[in-house]
Amino acid sequence: MFTKFSGIKLPFTPFVVLAVGIGVGLGYLHWGRDTHKTPTHIVQITESFPDMNFMAEVHIGDQTELFLVDTGAGRVMLTTKLANRLHLTSNNASVVGGVGGRAISENVIIPSMRVGPIEVHKVEAGIVDSPYNLLGMPFINELSRFEIKGRVLTLEQE
C-alpha cells in the first residue's frame, strides 16, 4: 500500500513514521538518563490528631523532637527550649506572623535536619517562644514529593 504525501508516493504512512520517530526519540531520552540515581527515601506519617495534623519525629544534631508538619508555614520554627539545647545562636531577628499573631523570630541556619532517612542541609529557621516546633516549607520544598492521601502523609526524597 502506498500513500501520497506532497505529491510523492510513499510505501508507508507518514503518521506511522512520525509516531515511530517520536518513540525512538523518547526511548533515546529515557535510556540517555543518568542511571546512577540516588536511592529514593520515603517516610510515611499517620495522622496524629483527628483534625489532620501530622507530627514528625525530627533529628537535629543529637536531639530528637516532635515537629508539627505545617505546609502553611513559610519557615521552620523551633521553640526557644529546643534552640537552647542545640546551642543555636542568632545574630539577627525578624517579625513573623501566623495564626497566633505576630512575634519576634531569631533567625538561624540549621546545619542538618532528618526525618527518618530523609535529610536536608542548611535549613533556614526561626526561634520563637512557642509550645510547638513547626516543620515548614524550607524543609518540605527540598523534597521530591509531598502528598497527603487519606490519613497518611508521604514525604519522598530522591
Distance CA 157, CA 139 (A): 11
**C-beta of residue 142 within 8 angstroms of C-beta of residue 157:** yes
Do 96 and 134 fall within a single domain? yes
Grid cell locating 136: 515548614
Q: Which structural domain range is residue 133 located in?
A: 41-157
Beta-carbon contacts of 108 under 8 Å, excluding residues fewer than 6 positions away, are 78, 83, 88, 89, 90, 124, 125, 126, 127
Do 70 and 129 fall within a single domain? yes
| DSSP structural state of residue 39 | P
Do 78 and 128 fall within a single domain? yes
Each residue's pLDDT tens digit in the chain (158 positions)?
A: 444 444 555 444 443 333 333 333 333 333 333 444 555 888 888 877 666 689 999 999 999 999 999 888 889 999 999 999 999 988 787 777 766 677 778 999 999 999 999 999 999 999 998 888 999 999 999 999 989 888 888 999 98
E-assigned strand segments in 6-158: 8-10, 41-46, 55-60, 63-69, 76-79, 93-98, 101-115, 118-128, 133-135, 145-149, 152-157
Do 88 and 121 fall within a single domain? yes
Do 23 and 100 fall within a single domain? no
Count: domains in the chain: 2
Query: Helix, strand or coil for residue 59?
Result: strand
**C-beta of residue 104 within 8 angstroms of C-beta of residue 95:** yes
